[in-house]
Amino acid sequence: MTELPENLRDWAKTCNGAPGIPVRQHLLAVLHVAEELLRRFPRFCAQCRITPQAVLFLAASHDVGKLSLDFLQLSRAWLESQGLSRRAIREGWKALYARSLSCLAGQPAQVLP
């Protein structure tokens, strides 16, 4: 497991190609939008056979994967801002990410060195 600095700043959305808002801010914004949509469309949950709590949970957690190193490292600007560019190259983070994607795509899993 890769040990990362405790003060690491995450990101969810980009702004001009650079990391923008943090994941927490993004998830809270989506949660508030979901709350408003449920308020405006009160029959939605009954029609879809889902509880309001389930809708809000799904909205608030839909991008939790953005807290993973696999996602965070997709932004070169983020790696640089966190002082992790050289480490990512040295430790082959992109290669590890590519391998995990190939496994998800149904290709044979490879044993990591």
Q: What is the pLDDT of residue 92?
A: 81
Q: What is the pLDDT of residue 50?
A: 97
Q: Which helix (H) or strand (E) holds 16?
A: none
**End-to-end Cα separation, the chain, in angstroms:** 13
Q: List the one residue out of 4, 66, 63, 1 whose CA is nearest residue 31.
A: 63
CA distance 11 to 58: 19
CB 75 within 8 A of CB 19: yes
Q: What is the pLDDT of residue 111?
A: 38
3-class DSSP assignment, residue 19: strand
CB 34 within 8 A of CB 55: yes
Residues of the chain with pLDDT under 70: 1-7, 95-113
Q: List the one residue out of 14, 3, 11, 5 whose CA is nearest residue 71.
A: 11
